[in-house]
Amino acid sequence: MDIVYFILRLFVKIVVRLFFRQVTVLGRENIPATGPVIICATHNNQYVDAMMLIYAIRRPINFVIAASSARLSYLKWFSKVAGFIPTERPIDHKVVGKGNIVRVTKHSIFGEGTEFTKELHVGCSIKPKEIKEEFIVSRIVNDNELVVSPASDIDFGVSYDLEKPCSYFILPKLDQKKVFASVANILKSDEVIGVFPEGGSHDQTKLLPLKAGACVFVWSAHAELNKDPAMICTGINYYDASKFRSKVIVNISKPIKYEIDPNRFTDRAYKHSKIQEMLSSMRQSMEDVKFLAPSYKELMNLDVAGQLYTPSDVMLNKEEQFRLFKKFCNGYENIKDQQDVKELLENVEVFRQKIKSLGLKVHDVRDKETKLHIRPGHAVIEALKILIGIPFLLFLVPIRLILSKEAEKKRQKALSSSYVKVRATDVMATWKIILSIVLIPAFLIIWVICFFIFSKYLFKSESPFFYTFMFFLLFPIYLYFSVYMFDGIERSLNILYARIVNIILTKIDKKDRIKELRGQAEAIEKQLVKVIKDNIPILHEELKELVVKRMELEKENDETISDMLDEI
């Protein structure tokens, strides 16, 4: 591996491990050790997504990124070192067209006061502001009428009804010959290309319509280079993408290989149908490696429901958990409108909010040893943890306040200029990390100066320079390890808070909160089993198979297995 990329990857690994509490990589063994590879990844966290791929995949990746990003002053060096391939995106050159769109169908657009013949040309795209889909211009009938086709051949159920006339964007058709030439050289050298087929970062819970660029790369590799690159789809699944010390699961699919008839490379109709086939296959694979839910709230509720549904005595590995939860989400999508499912999710939401307010996790509630009474010895240990972490918290608080404020500004700016973002939270983690790289050294210098002043003038130290130098060396190390200790401190504060609240509430209504929550958890479990048995029997059977597999691995006796199966 190139030494510069090695250093870059080391830096990325440090940043990722500091920002995220838990990063789980599934399917890393699916990346071929040699040969050309095209990585197609989901895109829900702006520049952080590229960092996650660099972290998860050991082979150097040459990313195809937006030229507008590569031109940014703080990314120029990074993009060159990482071997990024800049590509101009139509969305970065969009302009507002004259007049308004008054009617839209799947294959035609009608305007009022528009000048289609002057402003548009065949092959460019048009995006009505009130419709979440782009259209490619097939023919310009006159100034007020277009014949169009949806940018994606996949039906996303988009409504074309307009309540009132709306403005529209014109996206030009751009020449990408340089990009294709650069990608061809990389694939010819048996290297790895990284692509985000959704085109731009977003915070929706579902995939955006995919661009066909990666599929064209595969076709070109076959037709022009006699290469058969492996396409590998990667789902970067965040649990609250912008939150410091949150969780991420990177799920890497098995390689997809496409059979292309070498005798039909010049057949344009065959090329078009094959690329559309590859695009559909790529979308299916990307959906398979990503958590999909109608909203973030529903995703969190499904996560809690999935934990409750899995028997407490069964320890599934990360891959089994992901597969089960993925099927859980897919099954929910098909039955979410049923009344019993709505009632179930409402109960899960109430339960989730209760355990969240008490600083507890699902496994805390299910663990019969968990008690919300304050024990003196335990309280002393928790207090010591908090005491050790005070300097870290004092260092961290002003930085977090600044980061939150600046990230919010960037979020609002991104939201105002995008038509695919819901709240634009996908840009916040990127800016928190970029600003941290500047703020942390700056605050460290301030602390070093303050330490020198205190040691020299307040404590009258005879060797202020020596002690200051030692502080300069040791304090960053303390901060680094404190990040990991912060998880424990936060957990300690939550538990302490939960216990105090429990004591107060118990005195008020004479109810033990943990017992009450256990009762709710058991009721939800029974409700879950019934709903899934009735509506998603395949999921129920798979869980049974996993239980048998796990218990056999743990060499438990047949009676225990039987009891466990009876439980589900």
Which tens digit of pLDDT belongs to each residue from 292-346? 777 778 888 888 988 888 877 777 777 878 888 888 888 888 888 889 888 999 9
State the amino acid at position 359 in one-letter form.
G
Q: Per the structure block, which two tokens stand in for 543?
A: 């869980």
Exposure on the CB side of residue 358, measured as CA atoms within 13 A: 27
Average pLDDT, the chain: 86
User: What's residue 543's pLDDT?
Assistant: 73
Q: Per the structure block, which two tokens stand in for 155?
A: 């039906």
Lowest-confidence segment of 110-114, 370-374, 498-502 by average pLDDT: 370-374
CA dihedral 545, 550, 554, 556 (to 10 degrees): -40
Q: Per the structure block, which two tokens stand in for 323?
A: 């597969």
Rama region for 268: left / alpha / beta (φ>0; ψ in -120 to 50; rest): alpha
Closest CA to 357 of 516, 494, 493: 494
CA 534, 540, 541: angle at the middle one, nearest 5? 120
Residue 170 to residue 188: CA distance in whole angstroms: 35
User: What's residue 561's pLDDT?
Assistant: 44
Phi and psi at residue 46, in whole multiples of 5°?
Answer: 45, -130
User: What's residue 190's pLDDT?
Assistant: 95
Residue 21 to residue 238: CA distance in whole angstroms: 11
pTM of the shown model: 0.84
**Residue 431 banded pLDDT, cuts 50, 70, 90:** very high
Contacts by 387-393 with C-beta closer than 8 Å and gap 24+?
Answer: 388/485, 389/482, 389/485, 389/486, 389/489, 391/478, 391/482, 392/478, 392/479, 392/482, 392/483, 392/485, 392/486, 393/489
Residue 17 to residue 34: CA distance in whole angstroms: 27
C-alpha 321: how far from chain center: 17
The DSSP symbol for 454 reads I
The answer to whether 76 touches 97, Cβ cutoff 8 Å, is no
| Residue 38 burial (CB count, 10 A) | 27
Looking at the DSSP assignment, which residues form a beta bridge with residue 145?
A: 110, 142
132-178 pLDDT tens trace: 788 999 999 999 999 999 876 555 556 688 889 999 999 999 988 89
Looking at the DSSP assignment, which residues form a beta bridge with residue 24?
A: 249
